[in-house]
Structure 1
Amino acid sequence: MVGETEKRRRVIGGEEDRISELPDALLLQILSLLPLKSAIRTGALSSRWRGLWGQRWPVPSSLCLRLPPGASAAARGEQLAATDRRGRRRMDCFTLTLHAGPLAQPDLMRCLDYAAACEVEDLHLRLDGSVGRGSRGGTRRPGMLTVHFPVGSPLLARLSVRGLNLTAAANAMVATLEVIHLHSVPLTDAALRRVVAACPRLRELEIRYCRRLRRIDFTNVGAANLKSFTIVDCSRATELRVPVAPRLRSFRFSGTFFSSNILSGGAMESLEHLYLCSGGPETGLPPTNLPSAVPRLSNLTVLTLCSIALQYVSAFAAKNVMESKLCSLRELHFLMFGMANSNLADIYSFLKTCCCPQLERLFVQLPAYTHDSFTENFLEVAEEEPPKGGLENLWLVKMTNFKGHRNEMQLVEFLLRKASCLKKLFLIAPKEDHHQGLRKVQSDVLMLSNFLKTKILLLERASANTQIIFSEPDGHQIQALHSEVFVRF
């Protein structure tokens, strides 16, 4: 028996791991005392703990209730009754997915009361079928279902609402809520302020397609713990005010740039991840101070800019004689809506103005259309001289929608000549979407591919070890960090 016990011992840091030797019943009791996030992290202790958190309740710890379109009132009632028969026991996650029409307000309240009684930590409410781009998901409709905030669970940590109305009580307090995702929610400015003010521990806020918002203002609402803030296509919003937020690490914005915005030095100086995308074709540069802060953000490690944001930075640099070092930047991503002379000049201007001595990964998303912008009314634009250095640590470049057009080739030549540590250069041909969901490489690119490959492989390289790869890598190992933010235009 002693030998058998020795075999079952687990040693951590040279000491016997006695906790992992406890019976499952006791381990599950320990896990039941932990918040969901902490319980999941115990899987790193040893193989014995891995996945054990999912068994910490005697019934399934997650419940997904889906009410399909066309379901009768009797069928809906039976689903809700089956949920009640589960009993009001602790639950980690509750997901309610419904379509427009199949649920009445009292039924929704019944589901929310049940989730609160089960002390749910993750709550996901989703209305399908009438939300998303091109819909009126951001405008309140007569008879729209309403979620009253706070929802009542004493342990709620994560709330996600899509396509439902959300109202917030004044002077509410939700001391446990850390993450809020709102998608196509007809939220007013005042309601958003009340929601944020009610959550002193809020660390992640994401707002998508909330088209009733006009003024996003978090001054004097206590957002001191906010670490990640995302705004996507809140098309009526014209003003943004974020107070000094010393813990803010990630700010991601996609949509029409605000004509009035204040991201004060205190709110921005700690940023590590920044995503700025204008969301459409170039229509001039309205007054805004959002992109002009980029050259001053010395703590950035990941930066994504669209071609319009690049224009702002370039224009700002031209008016303000300056040279800024983004000393911590490791990953840079350009989302190019065009690749004319002016666009290439903006890229060069950025690399000159914002020196990135530690840059390791560069992603360039080129426009998908097949004609060459250089040949269309851009010949009068003076060409910008490329920067002389600053890419000494760059080891990975990926260019998608590459077609071999003049300015695309110029950028490739520049990178090969200047990036002395470049290991891999991915040049990925554009792909075409079909109504059946299939994707195929465009035939005209295929016709040119062999010629392009030969031409590119003969280009001068600063590093003889540089691999030039013309196919998408297996899986998603080579993806930009901000890929999940991308919005298709």
Structure 2
Amino acid sequence: MDAASEALQRECGVVTEGLDAHIVTLLSCVHSVLPSPPVVSGHAALLPPSDDGVDRISDLPDNILGDIVSRLPVKDGARTAALSCRWRGVWRSAPLVLIDSDLLTVGSESDARADARRVAYAVSDILDAHPGPFRCVHLVCSSLEEYPDLLARWLHLLAAKGVGELVLANRPWPLDMPLPPTVFGMATLTRLYLGVFQFPDTTAIRGATAFPRLRELGLCFVAMLRREDMEFLLSRSPCAGDSMHPSELKDAPHLERLIIWSSTVRDDLPRLVKIGHAPSLSILGYLEPERHTLEVGNTIIKARTRASPNTTVPSVKILGLRVYFSIRNNAKMLPSFLRCFPNVETLHLESKETYQPTGKLSNKFWQEVGAIECVQSHIKLMVFYGFRGERGELSFLKFFLETARMLTKLVIVFNKGSFASVAEANSKVKPLFSTKWASRDCSLLLLESALPAGEDKWLLNFKTGSDFSTKDPFVCAVALGGCNF
């Protein structure tokens, strides 16, 4: 890591000394996906005095002054209390924004953990002094493992003082630090992001209030030891519309998108993705047959699983899949996965490369695969990433073009450096024109990715991709050289 990147990580609260490179990457990704605070970090600029020396700002109504103070970095907001008795009251009544990175010493050469301890003490002082409410709180810079009881107290105070948005990330060790159960007492939360924690056992807190107003949930490298814990979390968040990383959706009637990023998984154990009652789920990905066991309703999806009302999720419109076309059993799962989502209109499909191929599926397999509802009747756009011109890829693409009646655009993206020239890339897609396309209105766009093979486009565009205001989170402009489609 270069000096500039390391300095940026320090500002975000990531201590890199002595950590495995894989862990540093993981922590960097966690911090990159956390929402940006609503105020700019740093020091507020002082307004120049008026020509006549009159303090016109103090003449503003209290509600406007409170709005100004609530938008300042926390240290600058607290300093306004020293101006006068009136300003002291303004600070105490303003809905406070607490960003603990604003409390770091600018340009400090001191030990990072010592600085983190000072931040922890300052956070405690602010939470004690201010009566609330807290409009937004970002706690990502404290050494939480040193003060587990203090963290529980913070959460209790935030619950009592009406926190609206909370971003809480462990800095940066241990990875299995327990999250205090007091997190479930914050009934005023509308947005919650948690990073690098072990989720508490919810067995003993079934009566907890949890999050009746929550609309956005982000779980970034949060370990859950029991599947029931995710069910508990979603059932206690009846308004939640977006979620990062949960894997079990037994009863999530308002959940709109499920984004799964599993590039940091080191073992070969499959992860269960279970979808039960999720009628609002419209965006899902990336599902990987190699890594994920998909369960819809009470049915484990296997190769040649046929579509039925009990095995489909009709609400999904945008789907992301990653497939090894050169691993026969992996590629065989693709039709079954596609059948689970009959109304998909946009498909993002990434062809993964492996150095241990086990055989490609023949054209005959795709000819005999049978009907796939979303391919035949609904998909309008497919983006195919990681194209190398292999036989397995071409066999699938031919099948797709021969059956996708509603397709209007096929975008094929090959990794930077995969081909020696544009002419070679064009020659690799030429076999697709020898087949009869089902859609007369379909166009094909061939693009070179800005990323070489082996680079994770989702990793590099994680921040943009996880922005819930983005219509299609899987369109990663960085991977397509800035191309929009």
- Asked if TM exceeds 0.5, the reply is yes
Q: Report TM bin, short chain.
A: 0.5 to 0.7
Helix, strand or coil at the partner of 1:283? coil
Whichever structure has more helix as a proportion of its residues is 2
Matched with 2:112 is 100
- Corresponding position of 2:20: none
In the other structure, the counterpart of 1:272 is 256
- Distance in 1 (alpha carbons) for counterparts of 2:433 and 2:126: 63
Distance in 2 between residues matched to 1:464 and 1:102, nearest whole Å: 66
Deviations 1:154-204 (A, max 9, x none): xxxxxxxxxxxx65566973353233222235698875321222x112233
Please say if 1:252 is aligned against 2:244.
Answer: yes
TM superposition score normalised by structure 1: 0.59
TM-score by length of 2: 0.60
Q: CA deviation at 1:454?
A: 3.1
Task: Specify the SS of the correspondent of 1:420.
Answer: coil
Instruction: Choose the corresponding residue for 1:61, options 53, 67, 71.
Output: 71
- When residues 33 and 106 of structure 1 are mapped into structure 2, their CA distance, relative to the original with a 3 A threshold, is closer
Q: Which amino acid aligns with 1:184?
A: N
Distance 1:421 1:428 in 2: 21
Tell me which residue corresponds to 1:312.
294
Q: Is the 8 A contact 2:326 2:359 kept in 1?
A: no
Match of 1:365 in 2: 350
Kindly provide the CA deviation profile for residues 279-308 of structure 1, in whole angstroms up to 9, marking residues without a partner as x: 53772547xxx52435x5443211114214
Shift of 1:424: 1.9
Q: Percent identity?
A: 15
Cα displacement (A) at 1:415:
2.7
Larger mean Cα displacement after TM superposition, 300-309 or 180-189: 180-189
Query: Following the alignment from structure 1 to structure 2, what is the Cα–Cα distance between the partners of residues 268 and 460?
Result: 42
Relative distance call for 1:445 and 1:84 in structure 2 (3 A) is farther
Tell me: CA distance 1:403–1:297, structure 2 relative to 1, closer, same or farther (3 Å): same
TM-superposition CA deviations, 1:208-267 (whole Å, max 9, x none) = 222x4464666321223333333332357454423334333334327xx7xxx7x54xx3
Output the amino acid matched with 1:180. Answer: L
Name the CA distance, whole Å, in 2 between partners of 1:107 and 1:233.
23
Q: Secondary structure at the match of 2:222?
A: coil
Once residues 192 and 421 of structure 1 are traced to their aligned partners in structure 2, the CA distance between those partners, rounded to angstroms, is 50
Equivalent-residue separation in structure 2 for 1:239 and 1:189 (angstroms): 19
Would you say the 8 A contact 2:293–2:301 is kept in 1? Answer: no
Q: Distance in 1 between matches of 2:119 and 2:354?
A: 52
Whole-angstrom distance in 2 between the partners of 1:390 and 1:104 = 51
Please state whether the residue corresponding to 1:248 is helix, strand or coil: coil
Cα distance change on mapping 1:412 and 1:446 into 2, 3 Å: same
Q: CA deviation at 1:452?
A: 1.8
- Native 8 Å contact 2:199 2:222 kept in 1: yes
The Cα of 1:323 is off from its aligned counterpart by 0.9
Query: For residue 344 of structure 1, what is the aligned residue in structure 2?
Result: 331
Distance (Å, rounded) in 2 between the aligned partners of 1:332 and 1:121: 34
| Counterpart amino acid of residue 62 in structure 1 | L
Greater relative CO (CA pairs within 8 A, separation 6+): 2
Of 175, 182, 203, which residue of structure 1 is paired with 2:190? 203
Change (3 A) 1:96 1:200: closer
The residue type paired with residue 361 of structure 1 is T
Q: Once superposed, what is the RMSD of the aligned Cα atoms?
A: 4.8
Paired residue secondary structure (1:181):
strand
Partners of 1:85 and 1:472 in 2: how far apart? 58
List per-residue Cα deviations over 1:413-450 (Å, max 9, x = no partner): 2332222222222211124xxxxxxxxx4455867413
Query: Please, which of 103, 117, 121 is the counterpart of residue 109 of structure 1?
Result: 121
* Alignment: residue pair count: 369
1-side partners of 2:258 and 2:323: how far apart? 17
Of the candidates 64, 84, 87, which is equivalent to residue 32 of structure 1?
64
**AA paired with 1:462?**
A
Secondary structure of the 2:395 match is: helix
